[in-house]
Structure 1
C-alpha cells in the first residue's frame, strides 16, 4: 500500500473547502423582507422578498404613514402621523411579528419621515416644525432641532449622521442641516456683560470649576434653506451624495440641488403633477417618481435628466422602495390596494402584492 508522505496539502484543501462552504452558507443565511403599511387596515405587512408572500400582518396605529427598519432588520418603526397632530411611533418586533411599547414623541407632534442611522431613529415632527432623534437603548429622545418651516415632512440622514436633509412641503424649501460642533464656553466674560459677568447676569463659575479639555464640544447644526416649490415632498439623494432630487405635487417639476454648493442646480419640467415619492435606483442610473394624481410612474435618466418611460400603475401611487440588489422596485398603489412589483431591467410590472387597503409607506429589512 502506497504511503502518502505529506498529507498536509489534502488537509489544507479540505479545510479551505469547508471554510468556503461556511462562508457561502453564511452569505445565504440572510433574510430580506419588504415592509408595507396599510393606511386603511392599520397594519404592517411583512413580505418575504424571495417569494413575495405575505408572512404576517401586525396591527399598528390609526394613521400609519412611514416605516423604517433597524440595521439588523429585527425591529421596525412606524410613524403615526395624524396630519401633524398625533405623537406616537409604533415599535414592531419583526421576528416575533408583534407590536412592542410605543414611543411617545411629545412634545414633538406629527411624526412622519423616518431614518435609522447610528443605531438611532431620526424623525420629522411636522406639527412642531422639528426634527427629533430617539435612542432605543436609553428609550429617550436625545436631540431635537427646529426648522422653522411649515410641514417638515420627509427626512434623509447621511451614514455618518453629519448631514440631515428634509423637505418642507408648505414652505417650498429643502433644509440642509450640517453638523458643525462648537466649543463650549470657558465662562469668558462678555464684553457687553454687566459687572464683568459671563452671559449677562449669570454668576461666575465656582472656584473649583475645571473647564473641559479644549473647551469641550456640543452638538450643533447649521441650517441652509434652499427654495424649490410648494408641494415638494418626496425626495432622494444620489448614490454619490452629490445631488438631491425632489418633485413638486403642485407644479409637476423636479428640482435638483447641488449638495456641495448648497444651491439649486437644475429644474426639469417633468409634468409629474400630484408627485408623491421619488427614489434613485440602487445603481444610480434612474429616478422613479410616483404620482397620486395620475397613477403614472415617471422614470428619468439620472445623468441626462431625460424621461425614459411612463409606467401606468393604476389610479394613484405613493411609496417607493428599491430592492438593494437592483433587480426590482416596489410601488404602493394606494388607490388600487396593491403593491406593484417592477422589473428594473424591463421596466415592466411583473407582479402585484396584496398588503392591505391603501398601501403607502414601504421599507426594506435585512436580517
Structure 2
C-alpha cells in the first residue's frame, strides 16, 4: 500500500495477528496505511504533536520493546529497548514524555524521547501492573495491578525532611518532591479503567462483574455487581454522561448513567477487549479481539453503526491529531 498524505486526524489500531498498525480515515473508516510492528503488540499511544506513534510489545511480561513509528512519513523508526524494565504494556504521552507500565517488573516508568532514555521509574510492588493513566500536569499516575486486584494511586508530593534521633536536622535539609503510592483494592483481574473528565473518579471492573468507583481524593471505593461476566474494558464519554463497560467473555456492552450509576442499555456488540472514545464525534470504537473486528458504537442511538476489519485480533487504539 502506497504511503498516503498525512491526515489532520486518524484512528490507529493494532492487529495482533498481522503485527501491524493500521491508519484509519475517521470519516470514511477506510484503512489508508499499514505499518509493521513488533512480535506482541498490545497498546498504542501518540505524541502530543501527532508525529510519532508508540506501540508496546508485552510478551506476557517478558519482552522489552516499544515500537516507534513516524506518522508524518509512514516509516518505522528504531525501537525503544526498555530493559531492564520488562513487559511494557500500558502507555501514556504527557508533558512530552512517554510513560509506560512494565508489568514483568512491577513498575511504571517514564521515557524522555529527546534524551533517548528512561528518566524516572517507580515500583508498585504489585503483580501485573497493566494499564496506565497520567494526569495532564504529570503529578499523578494511576495503574491497575491485575493479579494483585489493586489500583495504584501514585502522586508527587512535598515531603518534609525527617528529624533524626538527635532532634537536629542536617545542614541543608530542605523539603523535597517525592512520590507516594496508595493502594486501593478493587478485585482480582481488574484491567481496564477510565478517569472521569473532572478528574475525581476512577472506574474499573473485574471479570467477575464487580464495578468499582474510586474517589480519587479520598481513595474510598464504592462497589456493586454489574452482572456482567468477563467485564474487561471501561470507558467514560468525553462529556462524562455515560460509562461503557465491555465484556470480553459474553460480548455484551453495558451503558451506565455516570451520575446515577443506573443501567441505561445492555446489548451485544462483540467480545470487547479495548475501547476508544472519539473525542470530537459521538462514537466509541470497540476492538473485539476474539471476534476479529472493530465495532463502531453510536452514542446518539446507543447502537452499533459499522464494523471495521483491520486484520486478526484487533486490540489497542489511539487517535493521532497532527499539530504544526
Give TM-score, length-normalised by structure 2: 0.93
In the other structure, the counterpart of 2:3 is none
Q: Gapped runs of 5+ residues in structure 2?
A: 1-5
Match of 1:359 in 2: 314
Preserved contact between residue 158 and residue 175 of structure 2 (Cα < 8 Å): no
Q: Could you tell me whether the CA contact under 8 Å between 2:193 and 2:204 is conserved in 1? A: yes
The 5 Å alignment of 1:157-196 reads: 157-182=134-159, 190-191=164-165
Alignment counterpart, residue 236 of structure 1, candidates 188, 191, 194:
194
1:191 Cα deviation from its structure 2 partner: 3.9
Aligned partner of 1:257 in structure 2 is 214
CA distance in 2, matches of 1:233, 1:101: 29
Residues 172 and 46 (structure 1), Cα distance of their counterparts in 2 relative to 1, 3 Å cut: same
Q: How does 1:200-211 map to 2 (within 5 A)?
A: none
Of the three residues 16, 21, 40, the one matched with 1:63 is: 40
- Which structure has the greater CA radius of gyration? 1
C-alpha distance in structure 2 between counterparts of 1:40 and 1:270, whole Å:
32
**Number of residue-to-residue matches in the alignment:** 317
Runs of 4+ residues deviating >3 angstroms: 181-185, 190-193, 214-217
Q: What SS is found at the alignment partner of 1:290?
A: strand
- Once the two structures are overlaid, the 10-residue window that deviates more, 344-353 or 116-125, is 344-353
Match of 1:336 among 291, 316, 323: 291
Q: Does 1:285 align with 2:262?
A: no
Output aligned runs, 1:102-117, within 5 Å: 102-117=79-94
CA contact (8 A) 1:281 1:326 kept: no
How far 1:197 sits from its partner (Å)? 12
The one of 25, 29, 34 equivalent to 1:52 is 29
Q: Find the residue that maps to 1:171 and give its secondary structure.
A: coil
CA–CA separation in structure 1 for the residues paired with 2:74 and 2:244: 31
**CA deviation profile, 1:262-290 (whole Å, cap 9, x unmatched):** 111x2121122212211101111001111
CA offset digits 1:171-215 (Å, max 9, x no partner): 111110010144689xx9x5479xx997xxxxxx9xxxxx6xx84
Tell me the distance in 2 between the aligned counterparts of 1:261 and 1:191: 32
3-state SS of paired residue (1:335): helix
Q: Does 1:319 align with 2:319?
A: no
**1:268 touches 1:305 (CA, 8 Å); kept in 2?**
no
Preserved CA contact (<8 Å) 1:322 1:328: yes
Distance 2:23 2:7 in 1: 15
1:97 paired with 2:74, answer yes
Q: State how far apart, in whole Å, the 2-side matches of 1:67 and 1:297 are.
A: 23
1:232-280 Cα deviation digits (max 9, x unpaired): 110000111111100001x21110011111111x212112221221110
Gaps of 5+ in 1: 1-28, 199-204, 206-210
Q: TM-score normalised to the size of structure 1? A: 0.82
